[in-house]
Amino acid sequence: MSTTTDHLIEAADGVSLAVAGENIEGADVKSMPVSANGLSSELLEELAALAAEKVRLGGLRLMGEGGLLPELAQHLMQAALEAEMDVHLAAEAGRAGGRGSRSGGNMRNGYRAKKVMTEVGTVTVQVPRDRLGTFTPRLLPKYARRTGALDEMVLSLTAKGLTSGEIVAHLAEVYGMTTTKETVSTITDKALESMAEWRTRPLDAVYPVVFIDAIHVRIRDGHVANRPVYVAIAVTADGYREILGLWAGDGGEGAKYWQTVLTEIKNRGVRDVLMLVCDCEDGRVPHGAVA
């Protein structure tokens, strides 16, 4: 078997391949599969060896303080921030005609430490700064102290019925993350704002078919009780399904509340429904709500 003296690594169809260069004497170079995130088999093997060494030394900790994943997250986030700064400076250099501040361009101007809560734990990164102060990283926007994935985790725990205090305790125990009930409330309040925008969004003027029904679910509002949730689902003129809205009522399902639901749908822009499908017990629905 011939030996390789020089080679390049290129990715093709999800596989890292050694491409022969001018100084290569042979082509017997082993291909290295990569993961969906571009991690080569060599890197994965190194991580596996590191994990095995941690186990031998007393135990492997993945998340929280001293965990392996927060350390990896810190290095990856730092590298991403540096890459963003390089792209930003290159773009401004092209516009200004030079990198240095004397030529009207921009340049690096040190770092500022920033503690960020991620889904694997709290990490501290050094956010690069530029001389003109025009750099705004997309990875960590200005004033951002947590990642979007952490917000999704908090919302998921909230949806499962955990209180703010229980979520704070869970994040501290599992991820070594120090947070407060106020932070949890801020995350959930933003979700409520988005939900309010969705609930009041304008609707199409015409829907070929609208399905209405009510389902009874257990809702915690001071105490847990079965409450009806009124649902309106439409089929658009393009053939797509669209949830027009969800409304939580009190007591049992009734025509009076359906009148309120259909009136709201009309006020949001609906002018005609060709077919309204329901399973009302008396075979009737409120008239005049949707023309």
Over residues 190-201, the pLDDT tens digits come to 777 888 888 889
Binned at pLDDT 50, 70 and 90, residue 286 comes out as: low
Over residues 204-242, the pLDDT tens digits come to 999 999 999 988 888 776 677 788 889 999 999 999 999
Tell me: pLDDT of 149 over 80.
no
Spatial distance between the Cα atoms of 175 and 166, rounded to a whole number of angstroms? 14
Spatial distance between the Cα atoms of 72 and 61, rounded to a whole number of angstroms? 13
Spatial distance between the Cα atoms of 118 and 98, rounded to a whole number of angstroms? 37
CB atoms within 10 A of CB 274: 11
Which of 10-19, 145-154, 215-224 is predicted with the least confidence, judged by mean pLDDT? 10-19
Q: Is 26 in contact with 4 (CB distance < 8 Å)?
A: yes
Spatial distance between the Cα atoms of 285 and 263, rounded to a whole number of angstroms? 12
Question: How much is the pTM?
Answer: 0.48
Beta-carbon contacts of 170 under 8 Å, excluding residues fewer than 6 positions away, are: 157, 162
Spatial distance between the Cα atoms of 243 and 207, rounded to a whole number of angstroms? 12
Instruction: Report in angstroms the alpha-carbon separations of 220 from 160, 162, 163, 192, 266.
Output: 11, 11, 11, 16, 30
Q: Is 93 in contact with 152 (CB distance < 8 Å)?
A: no
Q: Is 153 in contact with 146 (CB distance < 8 Å)?
A: no
Which of 48-57, 78-87, 110-119 is predicted with the least confidence, judged by mean pLDDT? 48-57
CA-nearest of 258, 253, 255, 291 to 272 is 291
Phi, psi (degrees; rounded to nearest 5) at 258: -60, -35
Question: Where do runs of H (alpha helix) occur along the chain?
Answer: 41-56, 68-96, 148-159, 164-175, 181-199, 255-267
